[in-house]
Structure 1
Amino acid sequence: MPKITVAGSISTDFVVETDKRPSVGETVEGRTFTTSFGGKGANQAIAAARAGAETTMLGAVGDDIFGEKLVMNFEENEVDSSCVERVTQSSGSAFITLSKGDNSIIYIPGANNSYSPAMIDKVLKGTHIIQESDMVLVQNEIPEETVNYLIRTCNKLNIPVLLNPAPARKLGNKLIEQVTLLTPNESEFDILFPEMDLNKAVESYPNKLIVTLGSNGVVFHDGQEIQFIPAHKVKNVVDTTGAGDTFNGAFAYAYSSGLSIKDSIRFGNAAASLSIQKNGAQEGAPSLEQIKSVI
């Protein structure tokens, strides 16, 4: 069982489903309102754990009722939350509008913005969690200095690190060199590599840059040629929220288990295809048995 450590955001999702998104100044009637657990870091940790990884979460929650429930959710999903920090501010939250199968999101970092390099050092000095990881996953919903510090640290320790650069922000060449895998979606790719076309970019970063294209699949360069891995066809798309996070968590499990990048992408695609057939960023993350049933 691979050991995966995820450092990232932990949030509560407040989800409204509506037939029509309101224009500026307009009020429309929604169909449903629900709350669920989210945050890109937490989503990826849950996805990795359900796929079969021994998973540890690093991050911060607030000293409110939402923070208590977020930690309990990790325990219920067999994710080690012993290193999740409690800070004196509100927990992170996201307000999600679902309409016709697609989503738009307003994200409020809250406690996630408190997760600092000092908290990474606390984990490094007090435990061997990071040092014993087969892979570390990190995203951009925690402070940039913390993300960069973790990447540099993993690079020094020779620990594979997967950066899912969401939301997108500029990356220096040195940082790109230090990550093992980089998994932007199409819009994030455009921000990271504004002067490069897709084929040129993946060719420049073989076996590192993996670009997810939603229903159009995934593309990367294997060192010899460009590889395109098609997405699984899904007839009934219910909710795309968290699909990318499910892909990343499942991909990390597969890659850390010894599968090739190509086969790990297929595994991640299968997991993502199952996730979008259920509501919620985490509720749809499938088990290992479910993923194997559709590969």
Structure 2
Amino acid sequence: MQKLLVIGSVNMDVVSNVKQFPLPGETIHSSDMKFVPGGKGANQAVAAARAGAPCVMIGAVGLDPFGDTLIASLSEKGVDAKSVLRKEGTSGIALITVSEEGENNIILSAGANGQITEEDLASVVQWDGACAVLLQNEIPWETTLAALRSAKEKGVRAFLNPAPARALPEELFSLLDTLIVNETEAAVVTGVKVVDVETAETAADWALAKGASSVIVTLGEQGCFYASAQGARAAVSAFRVQPVDTTAAGDTFIGAYAAASADGLATEEALVFAAAAAALAVTRHGAQSSIPDKAEIEAFLASR
């Protein structure tokens, strides 16, 4: 299997569990608090590696103690972290509050993630032997756009998950092999309010018309919808599980899908594999700590 590249954020997640989210001005007690390695880029890299793909992480951490922990965590989970840079100042931090229902609120502090430049990418990214690159929206936008242009020039497939959500310039869509968005992100990117498979298809068609080669819209409990410029369509149901923490569920789906695609699975099979990985992730606490490996995903599928 050819390697996957992930260019994006590496964070330390400070996770607090609460009965319910506080109201404005309200002080509540947390039942538990943990420090858990996260960041959308790092999460997707771990998900891809644990799903069986050789994976290289390109990102940055600070010179603080969190930086050492974050790099070590990536390496321990099978990700090649030699291209994670060290920057002056602090590492990225995400303050995450998780309710009893498993929903979360997140506040991001970019830290070193906000210092990654086009020059940094030029110094560390090795495109040779890469089949795809995964990108998100937690590093400077100009750097992400430069990476997308380079991937197009090198003939490397580009997967973009524009999260946190933002409007995308029209020129970007033709650079994408796969745009992956949830309901909220789809609404921001396409202007379509996504609530079900039918509206997901409308949003996907909008992005395809702008030049994307394929689009995946994830729909939480409703599963996901896939459409390609060649006319393929697929709706995949979500697996029914009892969630305890939805943190990194989307990242797990994306990393697992990219790994399955790199391994040669047909699109619908790869989507089912990714849906199973995400289902397992939401039954566990934390970001990277919740991500299943390939054997666990295959066992879950075999049991359904």
State the TM bucket, normalised to the shorter chain: over 0.9
TM-score relative to the length of structure 1 = 0.95
Equivalent residues of 1:139, 1:165 under 8 A apart: yes
Kindly provide the amino acid, as one letter, of the partner of residue 50 in structure 1: R
Hey, what does 2:50 align to over in structure 1?
A: 50
Hey, what does 2:271 align to over in structure 1?
A: 265
Equivalent residues of 1:8, 1:139 under 8 A apart: yes
Rounded to whole Å, the distance in 2 between the matches of 1:255 and 1:226 is: 16
Hey, what does 1:5 align to over in structure 2?
A: 5
Hey, what does 2:238 align to over in structure 1?
A: 231
**What is the deviation of 1:151?**
0.2
**RMSD value, Cα:** 1.4
Rounded to whole Å, the distance in 2 between the matches of 1:26 and 1:238 is: 24
**What is the deviation of 1:74?**
1.4
1:243-274 Cα deviation digits (max 9, x unpaired): 00000000000111112222111111010001
Rounded to whole Å, the distance in 2 between the matches of 1:246 and 1:14 is: 19
Residue 148 (structure 2) pairs with residue 141 (structure 1): no
Equivalent residues of 2:51, 2:293 under 8 A apart: yes
Hey, what does 1:165 align to over in structure 2?
A: 162
Give aligned pairs, total. 290
SS of 2:225's equivalent in the other structure is strand
Rounded to whole Å, the distance in 2 between the matches of 1:112 and 1:55 is: 19
- Where in structure 2 are there 5+ consecutive unaligned residues? 194-198
**What is the deviation of 1:201?**
3.0
Rounded to whole Å, the distance in 2 between the matches of 1:13 and 1:114 is: 19
SS of 2:66's equivalent in the other structure is helix
**Which of 181, 199, 202 lines up with 1:200 in the alignment?**
202
Hey, what does 2:196 align to over in structure 1?
A: none
Rounded to whole Å, the distance in 1 between the matches of 2:127 and 2:107 is: 31
- Where in structure 1 are there 5+ consecutive unaligned residues? none
Q: Which has the larger displacement, 5-14 or 199-208?
A: 199-208
**What is the deviation of 1:89?**
1.0
Kindly provide the amino acid, as one letter, of the partner of residue 170 in structure 2: N
1:81-129 Cα deviation digits (max 9, x unpaired): 11111011100000010112100000110000001110111024xxxx3
Residue 87 (structure 2) pairs with residue 87 (structure 1): yes
Alignment map for 1:1-295 (pairs within 5 Å): 1-99=1-99, 100-124=101-125, 129-194=126-191, 197-204=199-206, 205=208, 208-222=214-228, 223-224=230-231, 226-234=233-241, 236-295=242-301
Equivalent residues of 2:40, 2:138 under 8 A apart: yes
SS of 2:269's equivalent in the other structure is helix
**What is the deviation of 1:195?**
5.2
Q: Which has the larger displacement, 258-267 or 136-145?
A: 258-267
TM-score relative to the length of structure 2 = 0.92
